[in-house]
Amino acid sequence: MKVFFDTNVLVSAFTTRGLCADLLRLVLAEHEVQTGAVNLTELRRVLRQCFRAPAAAVDAAVQVLRQSTIIPKPKEPSDLPVEDPDDAWVLASAIAGQADILVTGDRDLLAIAPTAPLRLSDPRGLWTLRRPSR
């Protein structure tokens, strides 16, 4: 399965212990991880500015992701109705990568799930899908 991670999930995975970190490890081990070049740019910015992460830590996080599939910035943003213009680029990247699922914590993106051309899920939804309760 091709799993496209939005920046907010990646930030959580690299800055905290918990669901997003566990989910990233699981997908790295069992599936194809994808993210976009636009997401990597935002990830670098957020880790540096918001979390004051050292450059070496930021570079290490990006290097982990560079071993996966990085979707180049599409020529155009998605035309789906999203409030944040950056979200249109994330959607376009996931679509361009032919992702099976886009994992995001962004409520605006999750709100358009019924009309999106790919599955959208929050991290808990993908965790449940991959690790159903017994």
- pLDDT band, residue 133 (cuts 50/70/90): low
CA 85-4-57 angle, to 5 degrees, is: 90
* pTM, full prediction: 0.94
Q: Which helix (H) or strand (E) holds 77?
A: none
The reply to whether CATH 3.90.1310.10 applies to domain 2-130 is no
Burial call 68-83: b when 16+ CB within 10 Å, e when fewer: bbbbeebeebbeeebe
Residues 24/119, Cβ–Cβ less than 8 Å: no
Rounded Cα distance between 92 and 60, Å, is: 26
Which one, of 113, 94, 82, lies nearest residue 7 by Cα? 94
What are the tens digits of pLDDT across the range 2-19? 999 999 999 999 999 999
- pLDDT band, residue 130 (cuts 50/70/90): confident
Q: Which residue has the higher pLDDT, 32 or 134?
A: 32
Residue 53: half-sphere exposure toward Cβ, Cα within 13 Å: 20
Rounded Cα distance between 25 and 19, Å, is: 10
